[in-house]
Amino acid sequence: MRIMPNRMDRGFYKYQKEFEDKALKVLRSGWYVLGEEVDCFEKEFASFVGTDYCVGLASGLDALWIAFRVLGIGTGDEVIVQGNTYIASVMGITINGATPVFVEPDEYNNIDVLEIEKKITGRTKAILAVHLYGQASNMEPIVEIAKKYNLKLVEDCAQSHGACFREKMTGSFGDIGCFSFYPSKNMGAFGDGGAIVTNDENLAQQVRIFRNYGSEKRYYNKVVGTNSRLDELQAGLLRVRLKHLEELNQEREKICGIYIKQIENEALELPKVREGATTVWHQFVIHSKRREELIKYLNEKEIGTIIHYPIPPHLSEAYGYLGLGKGSLPITEKYADEVLSIPLYNGMTAEEQEYVIEKINRF
Ligand SMILES: *Cc1c(COP(=O)(O)O)cnc(C)c1O
């Protein structure tokens, strides 16, 4: 049996008729950018997250950098972020000229809250909390620290659609929550898409203007903005996905529950979920000191895996200018050498999963 790490086609076929009907409706409507579908999607998604406003954008990266832009964070400012995140989190900070200050992760692969205060300086302006692999970060202390030092709080929810910390949805804790709808995310579009959510009417309005060349009224430009609009087709298809999101996340929960119960091998460590937090299992990430061997073995059994992520941002060529060499974030670097995402997707069959479990247990 051949098993791929992800199968986005399965997510489509599960609701094929609904997706196709919606796509045809938008194509036939004659209106393709910023219209009724985007308006409805923004209302529905804000209500899902539990915030007052949502503004649809063209990608998750746009959501991040535009969030920092409207919060007034740029050159000379520092933003605290975990070292083991996807590089887009960091680019959202540096596109604006601000400096990322990396904090090591805890055993749940999210920012170690005990390390945050040590990294706060007079230039610190914000914390970017990433809910990595779908699990909510330890939000109670993060919110407290942000308050204590008067810092802005931004959340990177690109992997955490629907995940909660003490019953409160990720994206609703900070000044702004940033989402990606890249096809492989839990709530994926059929192309690129993103959004910010917020309770601040003024921030929402600023993002709304910024995404459309800085204009509120056509041809009257208030600020130098950008073009980052969620299109009608993606918004319409996302409304379909949103309707089924709870069900999709429950299916992932079921699959991962079986992984946790049935994978038994001393060569690897299974993921843990923090008390008070939930995960929507964007990835099922194991840690293994024998990772390269395990990848090779699974490949031979035709089981695909992915490393999220092999090179931490501070060691990437792009951030060489920060001057943080190897050894500067030992836990982050250790994780980069040990993490491995095993196959997980909506529509994964019991047969497929049994095959993966059997092979891993025999490693
Ligand atoms: C996917 C992702 C992003 C970027 O989203 P895009 O829509 O691809 O721009 C940002 N942060 C994290 C943690 C992500 O996983």
3-state class (DSSP) for residue 101: strand
Copy the structure tokens of residue 183.
């096809």
Q: Which residues contact 171 (CB under 8 A, 6 or more apart)?
A: 49, 51, 155, 157, 160, 177, 178, 179, 197
E strand or H helix at 20: helix 16-29
What does the alpha-carbon distance between residue 148 and residue 171 come to, in Å, rounded to a whole number?
20
pTM score of the predicted model: 0.98
Report whether residue 156 contacts ligand 1, using a CB cutoff of 6 Å. Answer: yes
Q: Which residues contact 279 (CB under 8 A, 6 or more apart)?
A: 133, 134, 135, 136, 160, 163, 271, 273
pLDDT for 57? 98
pLDDT for 242? 98
pLDDT for 315? 98
What does the alpha-carbon distance between residue 78 and residue 95 come to, in Å, rounded to a whole number?
13
Nearest ligand 1 atom to alpha carbon 63? 9
Report whether residue 93 contacts ligand 1, using a CB cutoff of 6 Å. Answer: no
Rounded (5°) CA angle 165-170-176: 135
pLDDT for 288? 98
Measured in Å, residue 274 CA sits from the centre of ligand 1 at 23
pLDDT for 343? 98
What does the alpha-carbon distance between residue 200 and residue 139 come to, in Å, rounded to a whole number?
19
Measured in Å, residue 88 CA sits from the centre of ligand 1 at 6
What does the alpha-carbon distance between residue 325 and residue 314 come to, in Å, rounded to a whole number?
8
Report whether residue 194 contacts ligand 1, using a CB cutoff of 6 Å. Answer: yes
- Provide the residue-wise pLDDT of the chain in tens; the chain has 363 residues: 999 999 999 999 999 999 999 999 999 999 999 999 999 999 999 999 999 999 999 999 999 999 999 999 999 999 999 999 999 999 999 999 999 999 999 999 999 999 999 999 999 999 999 999 999 999 999 999 999 999 999 999 999 999 999 999 999 999 999 999 999 999 999 999 999 999 999 999 999 999 999 998 889 999 999 999 999 999 999 999 999 999 999 999 999 999 999 999 999 999 999 999 999 999 999 999 999 999 999 999 999 999 999 999 999 999 999 999 999 999 999 999 999 999 999 999 999 999 999 999 999
- Residue located nearest, by CA, to atom 6 of ligand 1: 60
- C-alpha of 259 from chain center: 22
Report whether residue 85 contacts ligand 1, using a CB cutoff of 6 Å. Answer: yes
pLDDT for 286? 98
pLDDT for 360? 98
